[in-house]
Amino acid sequence: MGQFTSPIDRRRLLQGFGALFLASACCPTPVSGGAEARVAPRPPAPSTGPLVPDAPENVGMSFARLQDAFARLERRVNDEAFPGFAALVARHGKIVAEHAYGRKVRGGGEPVTLDTLFDLESMTKVVSTAISALVLVDQGKLRLDDPVVKYLTAFQGEGKERVTVRDMLRYSSGLPLDNRIYDGKPDEIWRKMAATPLEYPPGTKVEYSDLTYRLLGKLVEVAAGTTLDVVARDHVWRPLGMVDTTYNPPPALKPRIAATGPTERRTTLVRGAVQDDLDFLLGGVCGCDGAFSTVKDVAAFCQMVLGGGTYAGKRILAPELAAEMVANQTPFVDAGKTDTSPLLNLMSTPKGFGWELFAPRFSNGGIRLSPGSYGKAGGAGTYMWVDPSRQLIAVLLTNHGLPQPFDERGWNRLLDETGCGEFFDGVVGAVTDGA
C-alpha cells in the first residue's frame, strides 16, 4: 500500500473575520588567554543542479527519523483521516526520502504512487501565478510598480488606481478575501470581480485573497498575450522538467490523479478537475487554484527558488527576483500580533510574493523551521516548505480535499487531520548535523 525509497465553498471562511483581519497590526578572531574563537563554517551555496537521490546520512539526516515522520502520516491514513499521500524530502540538492501511501480514491483500491498527481489548490498561487508574473518582470513585459488598471481596464473604483502588481503579489491589494460570484457567463463574472471595491488602502495590511490572485492571473494573461497555463508551462514548468504539472489534466491522466471532492455544487466524485467550484466554473485555469502536480515536480520548483532562480542549467528567474520572491514584502505587518491562530497565520502574517513566510506559533509548517523559511499550503491538503538555512525542502501532498464547510474550524481540522505540522517538525528533527 505504500512506497518508501531513500538513497470555499470559501464563503463561510470569509464570514465573521473581515474586521479581525483589518485590525491586525499590520577568518577566526583571537581572544584573551591565547584561545581562538571557533567560527561555524559557512554552508555551501544552494545546489542549482537537478535533484538526485542520495542517502540521508550523506547530507546530515537520519534515515530512521525520516521513516518515523512517514509512519506518522501512514497512521493518519489508516485512521481514515484522509485517503492517501505522497511526500518527498531533499537536502543540499539530494533527494533523501520519498514515500507514497494510501489510496487515490477514498474507499477504492488504487494505490497512491510517487507519480500520482494531486490538486494543488492554492499552491497554484506560487507555482503558476506569482512565478509567471515575476518571469514577465524579468522579461521586461511587466513592472512590479505598474498599476493593475493598466492591464485590467475593468479594475475601477475608489482608490483602485493605486493598486500595483507588487500589492497583488504580496496579498496587500486592498481587495477582500473573496467574492463568490456564480451568476452569469465567465466574462461577466470576471468583470464583476474586477469591479469589487477595496476594503483597505493597498500596501497597508496583509489580507490573504483568492480574489486578488484570480485577478492577478488575468493580469498575467494580458501582459503576456496568452493564457496563464501557457505562460507557466512554457516559461517555468517545461524548462524545469515539470512534465507532470498541468491545469485541466487530460482524460488519459485520470488513472494517475488522486480524487478530492465532492463539493457543495458538485455532488459526485471530483477527480482530475479543480475542487474549488468557482475556479471550475471559470474553466479551471485560474491564478488562485487549478494546477495539478507530483511531489517530484513540486520539489524541483522549490529547488529552483532555493537555487536563486536556476535549476539543472535552466535559468527561470534572475537571482535578485528569486530573492525578492521569498523576502518579507510586507514589513508593515507585525508577525507577533498576527500569528494568533492557524487561520490568521495564513490570512494576516507577513508574506513574500505568493509565499507564506514562516511564523512559528501557528504555521502549517510546524514550529521547528528556521527563521526565513517559506512555504505554501493548498486547501485540499497540500504543502511545501523550504528552509534555506538548512538547504532543506519538504513536500507533502494529500488528497484530503477541501474541508466542508470551509470555515475556521474546517481549516483547523484540515491541518490536524493531515498532520502537516507534525510531519515538517519530524523532517527538521531528522537533521543530525546541528544545522
Q: What mean pLDDT comes out for the span 395-400?
A: 98
CA distance 239 to 232: 10
- Look at residue 434 in the predicted model and tell me its pLDDT: 87
Q: What does pLDDT average to over the chain?
A: 91
Q: Give the other-Cβ count within 10 Å of 108's Cβ.
A: 12
Q: Is residue 20's pLDDT more than 50?
A: no
Phi, psi of 356 (to 5 degrees): -80, 145
- Look at residue 49 in the predicted model and tell me its pLDDT: 81
Residue with cell 493564457: 227
Can you give the pTM of this predicted structure?
Answer: 0.91
Q: Is residue 376's pLDDT more than 70?
A: yes
- Look at residue 2 in the predicted model and tell me its pLDDT: 56
**Percentage of the chain lying above the pLDDT 70 cut:** 90
Q: Which residues in 378-389 are b (16+ Cβ under 10 Å) and which e?
A: bbbbbbbbbbbe
pLDDT tens for each residue of 265-288: 999 999 999 999 999 999 999 999
Q: What mean pLDDT comes out for the span 320-347?
A: 97
Grid cell of 126 as nine digits: 506560487
- Give the pLDDT band of residue 16 (cuts 50, 70, 90): very low
Q: Give the other-Cβ count within 10 Å of 190's Cβ.
A: 18
Q: How many CA atoms lie within 13 A of 84 on its CB side?
A: 30
Q: Where are the beta strands (DSSP E) in 270-340?
A: 291-293, 310-311, 314-315
Q: What mean pLDDT comes out for the span 400-409?
A: 92
- Cα 355 from chain centroid (whole Å): 6
The single-letter code of the amino acid at 357 is L
**Percentage of the chain lying above the pLDDT 90 cut:** 86
Note whether 91 and 388 are within 8 A (CB): no
First to last CA, the chain: 34
- Look at residue 43 in the predicted model and tell me its pLDDT: 55
Q: What mean pLDDT comes out for the span 51-80?
A: 98
Bridge-based pairing of strands 246-247 and 291-293 is antiparallel
- Look at residue 241 in the predicted model and tell me its pLDDT: 97
Q: Where are the beta strands (DSSP E) in 256-364?
A: 291-293, 310-311, 314-315, 356-357
* Residue 385 DSSP SS3: strand
> What residues form DSSP beta bridges with 398?
85
- Give the pLDDT band of residue 105 (cuts 50, 70, 90): very high
pLDDT tens for each residue of 135-150: 999 999 999 999 999 9
Phi, psi of 31 (to 5 degrees): -130, 170
Note whether 83 and 106 are within 8 A (CB): yes
Q: Is residue 133's pLDDT more than 50?
A: yes
Burial of 50 (0-12, 13-18, 19+ CB in 10 A): middle
pLDDT tens for each residue of 412-432: 999 999 999 999 999 999 999
Collect all residues with Cβ–Cβ distance below 8 Å to 82 and sequence separation of at least 6. 76, 102, 381, 398, 399, 400, 401, 417, 418
Q: Is residue 31's pLDDT more than 80?
A: no
Q: Is residue 4's pLDDT more than 80?
A: no
CA distance 360 to 352: 16
Note whether 241 and 296 are within 8 A (CB): no
Q: What mean pLDDT comes out for the span 329-338?
A: 97
Per the model's pLDDT, the better-predicted residue between 217 and 45 turns out to be 217
Q: Give residue limits of the domains in the chain.
A: 2-26+44-124+228-429
CATH T-level assignment (fold) for domain 2-26+44-124+228-429: Beta-lactamase (3.40.710)
CA distance 25 to 63: 42
CA distance 361 to 3: 32
